[in-house]
Structure 1
Amino acid sequence: MASLKPKQVEGRNIENMIGVTEVPLGLAGPLKIKTRNYSLPLATTEGALVASINRGCKATRLAGTVTVKVEEVGATRGPVFKVKDLAQAEKLVAWLDQHFNHLKRLASAKEKHLKLVAFQPQVVGRSVYVRFVFDTQEAMGMNMVTMATDAISREIKKKLGIDCVALSGNFCVDKKGSWLNFVGGRGKKVWAEVVLPRKVVRLVLKTTPEKIVEVVYRKQLLGSVVSGSMGANGHYANIVAALFLATGQDMAHVVEGSLGITTAEITPRKVARSDPSEVESALYFSVYLPDVMVGTVGGGTHLPSQQKALKMLGLGNKKGDAVRLAEVVGGAVLAGELSLTAALASGDLARAHQRLGRGKK
């Protein structure tokens, strides 16, 4: 039954192993980001998803390229400390500031591929929450971050006599949707955008720029406000989950990757280089993901299938590969979000799922 031997994963990825769960793996693309083409490995059980992302990739490719920007925020761990009063809380925060370089050395001594870059305190009564921010290089890094934060917490106990009540005080905020991560970011912030000619929207996406803009406004934006949704998007989680599963990411971080905002606008576009005055109304489409937790080493990235998926993307343990993976996530989310929105705008969503998601030939 198992395609993995217990010795490959026990003590690292699983306990009490009884077998392996298989999920279909599909391919979409190529997705063009800057000057590079990526074939996207996508693991999913949702019919029509791979086809939809593939269509979005085609549309963006015909438009030229997807522009992606990544900002490294850092992995975070936020322990909570119990203090006697506000005076002791102030003392703790001041001590952290005064001894920050010492704590940086302590963290790096515990985990050589990790660097403490910042801390953010929050005092609430007799509780002090401290959000430690780390550069984890090519790893997603939560194991490293946890070990380093534990060492820091023990140092605080040793020097100040202040107890750490919980190594994670929900101030990280790990594996939960939160406004703190939405506003401040976590892991990596990712932006992606594309301008699509009207002809591409009509021929590939079977709709118009105006209809897509209308759907984004009334569904992704206004609909999210009405429903109290934390993310103003259509289905980031679908694409994030498929890529995460294929490449060995922590699946619980999909909830963070599902956060984000989709925007669409009508924008002028030059039709011919020979005549700058000749313009058309094209579609500007963008996605923003403030909380992308990814890595190309560690976790499940060492598993054989996941290694092959990463190699398919040209990624491994080279410097900058984690950023490049985040770029792929952003571009893929844009492609999938664009195609879904177009299907809604054209009235084809139900028909697509009837044809591709019901097991009927």
Structure 2
Amino acid sequence: MTSRISGFYKKSPKERLDIISKHLNLSNEEERLLLGEVGYSVNQANQMVENVIGVLPVPLGVAVNFKVNEKEVFIPMATEEASVIAAASHAAKFCFDGFFTSYSGSMMRAQIQAIEVTDPYGALSRIYENKALILEQCNEQDPTLVSLGGGAKDLDVHVIEGATEKMVVTHLIVDTKDAMGANAVNSMAEAVAPLIEDITGGKVVLRILSNLADQRIVRARGVFENPFSGDKEAMNKFIRAYELAQADPYRAATHNKGIMNGISAVVLATGNDTRAVEAGAHAYASITGRYKSLTHWEVNEDNSITGTIALPMPVGLVGGATQSNPVAKLATKILDVETAEELAGIVASTGLAQNFAGLKALAGEGIQKGHMKLHARNMAMMAGAEDDEMDNVVELANRRGEFSYDKIKQIVLSLQKDKGRT
């Protein structure tokens, strides 16, 4: 079945779900879960976090038109922001050959900070001399991970000049395989801390992972075919908008936020750690010493545009909410992925598509017109429109081109007044 479905956005939620269900052979219980007829209970939530009083539903949509590494995919996206899913789906239409990805591996870092070391560079050397012993002690903490081919693989030791002293910081390089891996690397760092103290003669303070997962980089590439129908001026505006994000951190912050609109929506839908992915992405955007775009765009001779993206992607399919949240578990089923590498590639492709859509809109009519059209339903709800009035309110707002809250409120009141007369 193809993920390229014309008019998918025009269908009702049930009709969309029927398409997905037929493709994936979802059970009746899984369909009911997605429709909200059964759900993530307070009792389940209470097992995950503290002081639970309820649960907060977030809209779960599906981006269509995507092909990643020759495989058609439906991409679940959890977001409260209008236009994100529509933009990604629209952008993917232009990438007819699909997105292609690569993955540097599933390596995470844990940092062990030693202070009060009398000979920092000598201590650095001693840590490397004891590498085998350190890695052995780390791997004793997670024999299951080691049995799957993962575990602590290497060390990377730094002498960091702090404000008051030189610190020796040992990085454990751990292959977490199909898990995000925070718990695994943190456990290793804590277990080996006393050994680091013995070797360095110092005191260990921090022993925790780094979210700058620079050995867990995913890259995605897509060629967007003639998106401006040969309009050189529009193409030029697209590229100039991108160039500003490369040169100016004020623009880059918003540019990358747009990328993360798509990335975080997929990460959240699959029960992964949005904060870890966001932190890693923004740190990576600054790795040269200046905050820049996470994407690159190049114009080809045939009026197509090649886009690429690279960023850390610490996501997994094992552990945490990916398994304990039933909707997140179902989202990974919709994606039909078996490895963290597959998931990372799809997430990055979504971010690239999101960036294309944002730049294309900015180079054309601007971002706000299309966004406000899709946001009209939210404002109609805020204005008190009933479910059976919603379509009429949005249609009238679109017809008039008026999308402010005040204008939509007037439309709602007018419809309700007329309804009261009949």
TM-score, length-scaled by structure 1: 0.81
Deviation at 1:222, TM superposition (A): 2.3
Report if aligned partners of 2:106, 2:176 keep a CA contact under 8 Å in 1: no
- Cα distance change on mapping 1:252 and 1:197 into 2, 3 Å: closer
Deviation at 1:161, TM superposition (A): 4.6
Q: Distance in 2 between matches of 1:228 and 1:130?
A: 35
Report the equivalent of 1:188: 216
- Cα distance change on mapping 1:80 and 1:264 into 2, 3 Å: same
Indicate the SS of the match to 1:288: strand
Does residue 211 in structure 1 map to residue 237 in structure 2?
yes
Indicate the SS of the match to 1:167: strand
Report if aligned partners of 2:180, 2:318 keep a CA contact under 8 Å in 1: yes
Note the alpha carbon deviations across 1:245-265, whole angstroms, 9 max, x for none. 100011211232354522212
* Aligned partner of 1:294 among 293, 307, 315: 315
**Which has the higher relative contact order, 1 or 2, with Cα contacts under 8 A spaced 6 or more apart?**
1
Note the alpha carbon deviations across 1:228-254, whole angstroms, 9 max, x for none. 957974622211211111000112112
Does residue 120 in structure 1 map to residue 141 in structure 2?
no
Report if aligned partners of 2:255, 2:355 keep a CA contact under 8 Å in 1: no
Does residue 345 in structure 1 map to residue 381 in structure 2?
no
Indicate the SS of the match to 1:157: helix
Report if aligned partners of 1:236, 1:257 keep a CA contact under 8 Å in 2: no
Report the equivalent of 1:202: 229
Does residue 314 in structure 1 map to residue 314 in structure 2?
no
Indicate the SS of the match to 1:131: strand
Does residue 69 in structure 1 map to residue 102 in structure 2?
yes
Q: Distance in 2 between matches of 1:327 and 1:313?
A: 11
Deviation at 1:329, TM superposition (A): 0.9
* Aligned partner of 2:63 among 28, 36, 54: 28
Amino acid at match of 1:238: N
Deviation at 1:288, TM superposition (A): 2.0
Note the alpha carbon deviations across 1:248-284, whole angstroms, 9 max, x for none. 011211232354522212212xxxxxxxxxxx33222
Report if aligned partners of 2:106, 2:178 keep a CA contact under 8 Å in 1: no
Amino acid at match of 1:248: G
Amino acid at match of 2:210: V
Indicate the SS of the match to 2:134: helix
- Cα distance change on mapping 1:164 and 1:231 into 2, 3 Å: farther
* Root-mean-square deviation (Å): 2.7
Deviation at 1:158, TM superposition (A): 4.8
Does 117-126 or 240-249 show the bigger shift?
Answer: 117-126
Q: Distance in 2 between matches of 1:294 and 1:37?
A: 21
Deviation at 1:208, TM superposition (A): 4.1
Q: Distance in 2 between matches of 1:77 and 1:55?
A: 39
Aligned pairs, number: 323
* Aligned partner of 2:141 among 110, 113, 120: 110
Report the equivalent of 2:40: 4
Report if aligned partners of 1:196, 1:282 keep a CA contact under 8 Å in 2: yes
TM-score, length-scaled by structure 2: 0.70
More strand by share: 1
Which runs of no fewer than 5 residues in structure 2 stay unpaired? 1-35, 286-292, 381-393, 395-422
Q: Distance in 1 between matches of 2:266 and 2:352?
A: 13
Deviation at 1:98, TM superposition (A): 1.6
Q: Please show how residues 1-361 of structure 1 align to structure 2 within 5 Å.
A: 3-5=39-41, 8-10=44-46, 13-60=48-95, 62=96, 64-72=97-105, 74-85=107-118, 87=119, 89-112=120-143, 113=145, 114-123=150-159, 124=161, 125-158=165-198, 161-168=201-208, 172-174=209-211, 181=212, 185-186=213-214, 188-198=216-226, 200-202=227-229, 208-218=234-244, 220-224=245-249, 227=250, 233=256, 235-253=258-276, 254-258=278-282, 259=285, 261-268=294-301, 280-289=302-311, 291-302=312-323, 303-315=325-337, 318=338, 321-359=339-377, 360=380, 361=394
- Cα distance change on mapping 1:355 and 1:281 into 2, 3 Å: closer
Deviation at 1:160, TM superposition (A): 5.3
Report if aligned partners of 1:239, 1:332 keep a CA contact under 8 Å in 2: yes
Note the alpha carbon deviations across 1:282-320, whole angstroms, 9 max, x for none. 22222222x2211111121011000000011112xx4xx
Report the equivalent of 2:418: none
Indicate the SS of the match to 1:39: strand
Identity among equivalent positions (%) equals: 21
Q: Distance in 1 between matches of 2:43 and 2:233?
A: 52
Amino acid at match of 2:223: V
Which runs of no fewer than 5 residues in structure 1 stay unpaired? 175-180, 269-279
Amino acid at match of 2:280: E
